[in-house]
Amino acid sequence: MSVAKPQAAKVFCIGLQKTGTSSIRDALRQLGYNVTGVYGYGLSFKELQATYVEEGLKIARQVDAVEDMPWPNLYAELDREFPGSKFILTQRDTDRWYGSICSHFGDHPHPMQQLTYGEDAPEPVNHEARYREVYEKHNQAVRDHFADRPDQLLEMWLERGDGWQKLGDFLGAENVPEGPFIHTNSSKQRNSLYHRIRRKLARYGVPYEHMGF
């Protein structure tokens, strides 16, 4: 059941991928937000690097909320462009996060990973130290950025039990759902035939939203 979203600022989910961003996306949609996700997927690294900030700000003007990549890379620009917005930093244990991102992306290089983890680190499997370092530095940098504005940043640890009530209180939403929080894109889901096909096509540059499923 959908509930009416509060009359509130934009919501930017700025946790790196594999931290529960898909679950937050679906939760925000259930609360009535118009949410968008990945953009720039088919671009080369140089094209993405040159355009992602400008394109992201343009997209953000048209929606209520965002999640996934490369949104975490421009949280400071989003904060300047949309003062008073709400930011959600999804997190998980670093070991579990790295294991998940390796399981999902393996040794398949992609420009989106280069943008986030460095041009010389296009895939997680061969660059463990770099990925761990970027992940932990990103989370700390976000905390530092909002240190004097705690009302604008929510840290969500879904694997520790954070859920509807915490999200609802942060957004000022009323009548939030009760019971277990949404758990989207789990390993069970990703291992289904449907998701294996989607993932394989994505490796050939076909974004999920263009697959026609």
Exposure on the CB side of residue 103, measured as CA atoms within 13 A: 13
Whole-structure pTM value: 0.83
pLDDT at 180: 83
Average pLDDT, the chain: 87
Q: Where are the domains of the chain?
A: 11-207
Read off the tokens for 101: 């991102």
Q: Can the peptide bond before residue 70 be classed as cis, meaning omega within 30 degrees of 0?
A: yes
How many angstroms separate the first and last alpha carbons of the chain? Answer: 23
Structure confidence by residue, pLDDT tens digits, 136-161? 999 999 999 999 999 999 999 999 99
CATH of 11-207, one of 3.30.1360.170, 3.40.190.10, 3.40.50.300, 3.30.70.260: 3.40.50.300
Q: How many CB atoms lie within 10 A of CB 195?
A: 17
HEC assignment per residue over the chain: CCCCCCCCCCEEECCCCCCCHHHHHHHHHHCCCCEECCCCCCCCHHHHHHHHHHHHHHHHCCCCEECCCCHHHHHHHHHHHCCCCEEEEECCCHHHHHHHHHHHHCCCCCHHHHHHHCCCCCCCCCCHHHHHHHHHHHHHHHHHHCCCCHHHEEEECHHHCCCHHHHHHHHCCCCCCCCCCCCCCCHHHHCCHHHHHHHHHHHCCCCHHHCCC
> Is the pLDDT reported for residue 60 higher than 90?
yes
Residue 93: what pLDDT? 96
> What band does 174 get if pLDDT is binned at 50, 70 and 90?
confident
Q: Is residue 11 within 8 Å of residue 28, measured between CB atoms?
A: yes
Q: What is the torsion angle, in degrees rounded to the nearest 10, for the CA atoms of residue 78, residue 155, residue 171 and residue 167? A: 140
Judged against a pLDDT cut of 80, whether residue 53 lies above it is answered with yes
